[in-house]
Copies of this chain bind each other. A is one copy, B any other.
């Protein structure tokens, strides 16, 4: 079964609920760029797809960086002057500044304030903050709670470790006919944040499950990696493999109810860019397309000038543009099964375009071939039907000179990729067209 037929069999609403279930299961885990939270996350994913889990030791140089020490945390709280626990990591892992070093001391409120982070504009929400590369400790809480604190001595306790260990990531390769690869990547370093990026993890997991059911032209490489340092580590360890990557997408923020937004690859007019835009334009739904910028998710690394891979990012509301971003409000209420299912269907539609697209060669390029004697053309002539499949066949024949892909032809003909692709299939069956192997 190819991807086109698999897509026709899928029942979106059931899948949306399944994706939501996976997100719910992963939500409580305290992830970071290293440590047992990532391991536990990948262990759960392995119950669904045959991930390979890689461990890269602390200190390994990766381009301008090195793999950091591994962080783990067991317990963390603040007790007020009365000895009451007013903040507890047990309640939400967002309460701890991610990568906090261990601490256990009593401090006056004034001194404590330097270690407390809030969102003054959203006084009920707890922010998400990290300090990966500067040793520090801290707590995150709501502005309202901070305002209610009274003067006095507070006891702070963080039972964490920051030691040599490993950076952990998951990888799944689904082989296709070709060594050429499609890269699908998501980041697995965020703790209890649902849209950013449990939704992306769920999406790539379900893509994997579907792609395994198909036979594909491309080989698919799916990465579940910590953001930034994970992408850098993977690229450093797999530099030569990147030559095979033809197309790629970074998946994140795919569960909120906003409309889809595509951020182009650095190249701006790569095939992945045109494929995604064609699918979005054909959807009949509102969408946005934005140019590449060097700020965002791991497309920053994949599109650094030394790699310049054809990797874009397809999200719903982009990072930083929904108010709940990087706060306790990015929770299980923000993501919705219908949005998850729509995102997955769109990713599958894009991959289906990539699978079917390509340049082809008209085997009979001088004048039109006689479609009629091959059963490809209406038999009573003089009739002005210029629509549909016959016209699509004429377009495919006329432009299949090796310079125009089916996506190009679709755009120039003003016909859908589906009808152009179907016409190409019919022409291939009769020997009038061949896929360009060059």
Interface residues of A (CB under 8 A from B): 62-65, 98, 117, 127-134, 136, 228, 231-232, 235-236, 239, 266, 291, 293-295, 300-301, 303-308, 319-320, 325-326, 362, 364-370, 372-373, 379-384, 386, 391, 394-395, 397-401, 412-413
Select from chain B the residue with minimum beta-carbon distance to A391: B295
CA distance A64 to B365 in the complex (A): 10
Q: A382 with B231: in contact, given A64-B370, A394-B294, A401-B305 (CB under 8 Å)?
A: no
Q: A367 with B401: in contact, given A131-B380, A320-B384, A384-B325 (CB under 8 Å)?
A: no
Q: Is the CB of B129 within 8 A of A380?
A: yes
Q: Is the CB of B303 within 8 A of A398?
A: yes
A-B residue pairs in contact (CB < 8 Å), sample of 28: A63-B369, A64-B364, A64-B370, A117-B380, A127-B382, A128-B382, A129-B380, A130-B380, A131-B381, A133-B372, A134-B372, A134-B379, A134-B380, A228-B368, A231-B367, A236-B367, A266-B398, A294-B368, A295-B386, A300-B368, A303-B398, A304-B368, A304-B398, A305-B362, A305-B365, A305-B398, A307-B367, A325-B384
In the bound complex, residues from chain B placing their C-beta under 8 Å from that of A307 are 366-367
Q: Is the CB of A394 within 8 A of B300?
A: yes
In the bound complex, residues from chain B placing their C-beta under 8 Å from that of A372 are 133-134
In the bound complex, residues from chain B placing their C-beta under 8 Å from that of A239 are 366
Q: Is the CB of A235 within 8 A of B367?
A: yes
Question: Taking the nearest CB of chain B, how far is it from the CB of A11, in angstroms?
Answer: 37
Q: Is the CB of B98 within 8 A of A382?
A: yes
Most buried by B among A127, A134, A231: A134
Q: A370 with B65: in contact, given A319-B384, A394-B295 (CB under 8 Å)?
A: yes
Select from chain B the residue with minimum beta-carbon distance to A398: B294
Most buried by B among A308, A364, A373, A382: A382
CA distance A391 to B295 in the complex (A): 7
Question: Taking the nearest CB of chain B, how far is it from the CB of A323, in angstroms?
Answer: 11
Q: Is the CB of B266 within 8 A of A133?
A: no
Q: Is the CB of B134 within 8 A of A306?
A: no
CB-contact partner of A131 in B235, B379, B395, B413, under 8 A: B379
Most buried by B among A64, A303, A369: A64
